[in-house]
Amino acid sequence: MNFPTLRTVQVLRYVTPLREGGSLPAIVDADDEFLYVLKFRGAGQGTKALIADLLGAELFRALGFKVPELVFAQLDHAFGRTEPDPEIQELLRRSEGLNLALHYLSGAITFDPVVMKADALMASKIVWLDSFLMNVDRTARNTNMLCWNHELWLIDHGASLYFHHAPDNWEEQAVRPFTAIKDHVLLPQATKLEDADAQLKPAITPELLKHLASLIPEDWLDPAVPRERYVEFLQRRLDNSQIFLTEAINAGKLLL
CB 50 within 8 Å of CB 41: yes
Instruction: Say whether both 49 and 166 belong to one domain.
Output: no
Residue 186, domain extent = 109-151+159-253
Predicted confidence at residue 178, as pLDDT, reads 98
Task: Tell me: do 140 and 235 sit in the same domain.
Answer: yes
Question: Would you state the pLDDT for residue 3?
Answer: 85
Flag whether 1 is in a domain.
Answer: no
In the beta sheet, which residues pair with residue 29? Answer: 13, 35
Tally of domains in the chain:
2
184 and 130 belong to one structural domain:
yes
In a shared domain, residues 96 and 137 = no
The predicted model scores a pTM of 0.95
Look at residues 101, 102, 97, 123 and name the one whose alpha carbon lies nearest to residue 111. Answer: 123
Task: Tell me, yes or no, whether 220 lies in a domain.
Answer: yes
Residue 133 shares a structural domain with residue 225: yes
Co-location of 127 and 142 in the same domain: yes
Q: 237 and 133 in one domain?
A: yes
Considering the domain architecture, whether residues 73 and 136 belong to the same structural domain is answered as no
Query: What are the pLDDT tens digits along the chain (256 aa)?
Result: 678 899 999 999 988 888 665 567 999 999 999 999 999 999 988 999 999 999 999 999 999 999 999 999 999 987 766 677 888 888 888 999 999 999 999 999 999 988 888 999 999 999 999 999 999 999 999 999 999 999 999 999 999 999 999 999 999 999 999 999 999 999 999 999 999 999 999 999 999 999 999 999 999 999 999 999 999 999 999 999 999 999 999 999 999 7
Kindly state whether residues 90 and 137 are assigned to the same domain. Answer: no
Regarding whether 164 and 78 lie in a shared domain, the answer is: no
Considering 103, 118, 134, which residue would you say is the last residue of a domain?
A: 103
Specify if 35 maps to a domain.
yes
Q: How many helices (H) and strands (E) does the chain have?
A: 8, 8
Neighbours of 171 (CB within 10 A): 11
Same-domain pairing of 117 and 223: yes
Co-location of 30 and 61 in the same domain: yes
Long-range residue pairs from 234-242, CB within 8 A, at least 24 positions apart, any chain: 234/132, 234/204, 234/209, 235/206, 235/209, 236/171, 236/174, 236/175, 237/132, 237/174, 237/175, 238/132, 238/201, 238/204, 238/209, 240/174, 240/175, 241/128, 241/132, 241/197, 241/201
d(CA 196, CA 192) in angstroms, rounded, equals: 6
pLDDT of 83 reads: 72
